[in-house]
C-alpha cells in the first residue's frame, strides 16, 4: 500500500470532518437564534436566559433599540424578568424575524459572529408598530452548546403602523415598561428621525463579520 495514498485519504477525511462540523455549528447557531426569537414572541422570558445566553462569560450582554446595555448574567436575567410586565398588557406581542444570516465561526469552533436582517412588528390592543433593523450577535460554545455572548438589535426604524417611518416625528422608546436599569448607554441605535438626516446612516455600524474577527479574544470563556 502506498503510504502517500494513506496520507491523502487521512487529509480528505479530516477535511470532510471539519466541513461537517462547520455545517453543524452553523445550523446550531441558526437554531439558537430562532429559539431566542420564538421565546420572545411566545413571552417565555423565563427560558431565554437559561437556554439562550452564555453562563460562563463575564461580559455577556444584550441591548435593543435605546434599551441601554445589560452586561453580566444577572443583569441580563433582570432585564428579561422585567419583560413579565408585558404579559399584563392585552394583545401584547413582539415579533422579530431573523433573515439573511452572515455567520463566521472561529477557527477553533468555540466562538462566532453574525449579522441578521430583522423585519418585525409589535402590538397591543391599543397600538401597532413596525420594528425593522439588524441583529448583531456574537456566540460562544459552552459545554458543547452554542450560546449568545452579545446581542444587539439595532432598528433602522421603530414607528407606529399608521405613520410612515419617513414622516414619524420620533421613533419611540423601549424604556417605558422595563423596570430593569441598564449598566451602560446604548452603543449603536439612533432613532430614524435623527439618523435620516445623515448622509451615511450606517457609518457607525460594524461591517459584515470576517473569519479572523470570530477569533476575537473578547469572546473567549
End-to-end alpha-carbon separation of the chain, Å?
45
pLDDT digits (tens, 9 = 90+) for 8-25: 778 888 888 888 899 999
pLDDT at residue 82, rounded to an integer: 94
The answer to whether the predicted template modeling score (pTM) of the entire model surpasses 0.85 is: yes
pLDDT above 50 (res 95): yes
pLDDT above 80 (res 213): no
Beta strands in 61-144 (DSSP E): 61-64, 70-71, 93-96, 99-105, 111-118, 120-123, 128-142
We find that the CATH architecture of domain 3-219 is Roll (3.10)
Confidence of residue 2 (pLDDT cuts 50, 70, 90): low
pLDDT at residue 14, rounded to an integer: 81
Question: Read out DSSP for 182-199?
Answer: PSB--SS---HHHHTTSS
In this structure, how many other beta carbons lie within 10 angstroms of the beta carbon of residue 209?
A: 20
Residue 160: DSSP 8-state: E
pLDDT > 90: percent of the chain: 78
pLDDT above 60 (res 5): yes
Rounded to whole angstroms, the Cα distance separating 91 from 135 reads 25
Mean pLDDT, residues 199-204 taken together: 90
Confidence of residue 83 (pLDDT cuts 50, 70, 90): very high
Which residues are registered as beta bridge partners of 195?
none
pLDDT at residue 146, rounded to an integer: 98
What is the b/e burial string over 108-134, where b = at least 16 CB atoms within 10 angstroms of the residue's CB?
A: eebbbbbbbebebebeeeeeebbbbbb
Confidence of residue 172 (pLDDT cuts 50, 70, 90): confident
Confidence of residue 221 (pLDDT cuts 50, 70, 90): very low
Mean pLDDT, residues 33-58 taken together: 96
pLDDT at residue 214, rounded to an integer: 66
pLDDT digits (tens, 9 = 90+) for 106-155: 989 999 999 999 999 999 999 999 999 999 999 999 999 999 999 999 99
- Residue predicted with more confidence, 152 or 220: 152
Question: Read out DSSP for 40-59?
Answer: HHTT-HHHHHHHHB-SS-TT
Amino acid at each position: 500500500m502506498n503510504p502517500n495514498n494513506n496520507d491523502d485519504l487521512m487529509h480528505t477525511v479530516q477535511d470532510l470532518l471539519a466541513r461537517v462540523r462547520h455545517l453543524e455549528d452553523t445550523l446550531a447557531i441558526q437554531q439558537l437564534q430562532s429559539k431566542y426569537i420564538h421565546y420572545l414572541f411566545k413571552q417565555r422570558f423565563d427560558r431565554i436566559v437559561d437556554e439562550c445566553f452564555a453562563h460562563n462569560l463575564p461580559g455577556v450582554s444584550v441591548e435593543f433599540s435605546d434599551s441601554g446595555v445589560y452586561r453580566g448574567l444577572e443583569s441580563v436575567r433582570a432585564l428579561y424578568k422585567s419583560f413579565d410586565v408585558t404579559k399584563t398588557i392585552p394583545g401584547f406581542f413582539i415579533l422579530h424575524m431573523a433573515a439573511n444570516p452572515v455567520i463566521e465561526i472561529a477557527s477553533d469552533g468555540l466562538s462566532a459572529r453574525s449579522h441578521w436582517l430583522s423585519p418585525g412588528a409589535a402590538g397591543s390592543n391599543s397600538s401597532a408598530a413596525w420594528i425593522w433593523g439588524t441583529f448583531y450577535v456574537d456566540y460562544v460554545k459552552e459545554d458543547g452548546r452554542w450560546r449568545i455572548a452579545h446581542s444587539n438589535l439595532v432598528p433602522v426604524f421603530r414607528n407606529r403602523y399608521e405613520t410612515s417611518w419617513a414622516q414619524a416625528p420620533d421613533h419611540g422608546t423601549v424604556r417605558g415598561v422595563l423596570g430593569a436599569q441598564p449598566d451602560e448607554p446604548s452603543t449603536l441605535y439612533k432613532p430614524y428621525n435623527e439618523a435620516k438626516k445623515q448622509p451615511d446612516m450606517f457609518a457607525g455600524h460594524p461591517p459584515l463579520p470576517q473569519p479572523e474577527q470570530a477569533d476575537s479574544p473578547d469572546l473567549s470563556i
